[in-house]
Amino acid sequence: MKRIGVMTSGGDSSGMNAAIRAVVRTGLEYDIEVFGVRQGFLGLLNGDFHKLTSFEVSGILQRGGTILQTARTQDFKTAAGQAKGLRRLNEHGIEGLIIIGGDGSLRGAQALANLGFPVVGIPASIDNDIDGTNMSIGVDTALNTIIESLDRIRDTATSHTRAFIIEVMGRNCGYLAIISSILGGAEIVSVPEREISLEEIHDALVSAYVRGKSHAVAVIAEGVSYKTTDLVEYLESRGDVGFEVRLSILGHVQRGGSPSAFDRLLATRMGVKALEALREGQSGVMVALDGPEMTTVPIEKAIGRTRPINPSYFELARILSR
Ligand code: F6P
């Protein structure tokens, strides 16, 4: 293999740049040219490829987002789109592709592998919803951002004797919410995997007030079946919560920022492993963190289901939120 491509796709996550850098620099080690595909599958369909030199990936290790940019496109989901993408790769003499992204990106990777093109995936999504790996790139940085936000919000909540409803990202997965609720000392957490009703949240807030707490924090995952704005409306309509209630939707602040040490290391190891897997002739696989080891798993396993949350975390959250 003498020429490969690398692209980032779907929602960006901190550490993607570190993975790109690792792919390019490991390529140099093996005399493999690495071409960057701009804007994910959109760039693949448009043939938007350019060679990445060692210089171009210099100084990006600590940067959030992705220098290759990313996009969410539907066009690659069709058979015609996939055939066009394959043609573009062949036109540019690309012999293998590394796709860095979340569930949708890995589905695209699988489609290309099914057409016989060598593809290796790297799991990158703040949601930590990709099965088959303990962690995806960007999760740790997002968690650190959420925890810092929770700490700041608790300062003002305590000062005013307020209850805060804090909505965190995660799509259909409650990982960010459950872990940040434990590490941020929240009183209540509601996630798609174990949803707490509006009434239960009301009762928990009242109980915290009656117990004499100076504040209460409820972390709500964006994937639950109700809107946080409706939750706040409901709590206000009850009129007996005790605390004044405020809503804070953390939003895209969770996606950006300089990657944590953990994410830099994870992304670097995954980038190296992905290139080595391509060299070994592996395809249709995703690199994965299995305990301390870097390994590969079939992409089919990764996209088959949303990564489940370790049930012990629910118990931990319950015990510690008294
Ligand atoms: O998958 C990452 C993620 O940030 C989810 O947590 C969130 O639901 C979604 O992407 C937001 O997507 P967009 O940036 O396209 O609005």
User: Residues 156-206: pLDDT tens digits?
Assistant: 999 999 999 999 999 999 999 999 999 999 999 999 999 999 999 999 999
Alpha helix segments (H runs only) across 73-138? 79-91, 103-114
User: 3-state DSSP call for residue 60?
Assistant: coil
Average pLDDT of the residues in 96-116? 97
pLDDT at 313 over 90: yes
How many Å lie between the centroid of ligand 1 and the Cα of residue 247?
Answer: 19
Total residues belonging to the chain: 322
311 within domain boundaries: no
| Count of domains for the chain | 2
Q: Is the CB of 139 under 6 A from ligand 1?
A: no
pLDDT for residue 287 = 98
Q: Is the CB of 171 under 6 A from ligand 1?
A: yes
User: Strands, DSSP E only, in the chain?
Assistant: 3-9, 33-37, 49-51, 96-101, 119-123, 162-168, 188-190, 216-221, 244-249, 285-290, 293-298
- The closest-lying atom of ligand 1 relative to the alpha carbon of residue 126 is 2
pLDDT for residue 109 = 98
Q: Which two tokens stand for residue 174?
A: 């409650």
Nearest CA to ligand 1 atom 15: 11
308 within domain boundaries: no
pLDDT for residue 116 = 98
Residue labelled with tokens 């957490």: 189
pLDDT for residue 119 = 98
Q: HSE-up of 123 (CA within 13 Å, CB side)?
A: 32
Q: Is the CB of 154 under 6 A from ligand 1?
A: no
Q: What is the DSSP string of 248-279?
A: EE-GGGGT-SPPPHHHHHHHHHHHHHHHHHHH
Average pLDDT of the residues in 97-107? 97
| Residues 31, 100 share a domain | yes
319 within domain boundaries: no
Output the CA–CA distances (angstroms, integers) from residue 31 to 240, 255, 267, 272, 301, in the order listed: 69, 34, 21, 14, 32
* Maximum separation of any 2 CA atoms in the chain, in Å: 69
| Residues 37, 172 share a domain | no
Output the CA–CA distances (angstroms, integers) from residue 220 to 140, 225, 315, in the order listed: 18, 11, 17
Q: Which two tokens stand for residue 305?
A: 């289901």
| Residues 131, 13 share a domain | yes
pLDDT in tens, 133-152: 999 999 999 999 999 999 99
| Residues 9, 56 share a domain | yes
Cβ partners under 8 Å of residue 264, min gap 6: 15, 18, 61, 62
φ/ψ region of 123 (left if φ > 0, alpha if ψ in -120 to 50, else beta) reads beta
Residue finishing a domain among 255, 290, 311:
255
CATH at residue 264? 3.40.50.450
Average pLDDT of the residues in 259-282? 98
| Residues 98, 9 share a domain | yes
The model's confidence at residue 273, banded by pLDDT at 50, 70 and 90, is: very high
| Residues 26, 128 share a domain | yes
| Residues 144, 99 share a domain | no
| Residues 130, 13 share a domain | yes
Average pLDDT of the residues in 208-236? 98
Q: Which two tokens stand for residue 151?
A: 């700490």
Q: HSE-up of 171 (CA within 13 Å, CB side)?
A: 15
| Residues 149, 72 share a domain | no
Question: What does DSSP assign to residue 191?
Answer: B
309 within domain boundaries: no
| Residues 267, 227 share a domain | no
The model's confidence at residue 63, banded by pLDDT at 50, 70 and 90, is: very high
Output the CA–CA distances (angstroms, integers) from residue 312 to 72, 178, 309, 319, in the order listed: 34, 11, 8, 11
Give the domain extent around 159: 139-255
The model's confidence at residue 210, banded by pLDDT at 50, 70 and 90, is: very high
CATH at residue 202? 3.40.50.460
**Mean pLDDT over all residues of the chain?**
97
* Pairing outcome for strands 3-9 and 96-101: parallel
Nearest CA to ligand 1 atom 9: 171
Average pLDDT of the residues in 69-94? 96
pLDDT for residue 322 = 81
Choosing from 9, 169, 220, 252 the residue with most ligand 1 atoms within 8 A of its CB, the one to mutate for a pocket test is 169
| Residues 263, 204 share a domain | no
Q: Which two tokens stand for residue 37?
A: 């595909």
| Residues 265, 134 share a domain | yes
How many Å lie between the centroid of ligand 1 and the Cα of residue 143?
Answer: 15
Q: CB burial class (10 A; 0-12, 13-18, 19+) of residue 252? A: exposed
pLDDT for residue 319 = 95
Q: CB burial class (10 A; 0-12, 13-18, 19+) of residue 197? A: middle
| pTM assigned to the model | 0.97
Average pLDDT of the residues in 259-277? 98
Which residues are paired to 295 by β-bridges? 288
pLDDT for residue 308 = 97
The model's confidence at residue 304, banded by pLDDT at 50, 70 and 90, is: confident
284 within domain boundaries: yes
Q: Which two tokens stand for residue 22?
A: 């690792």
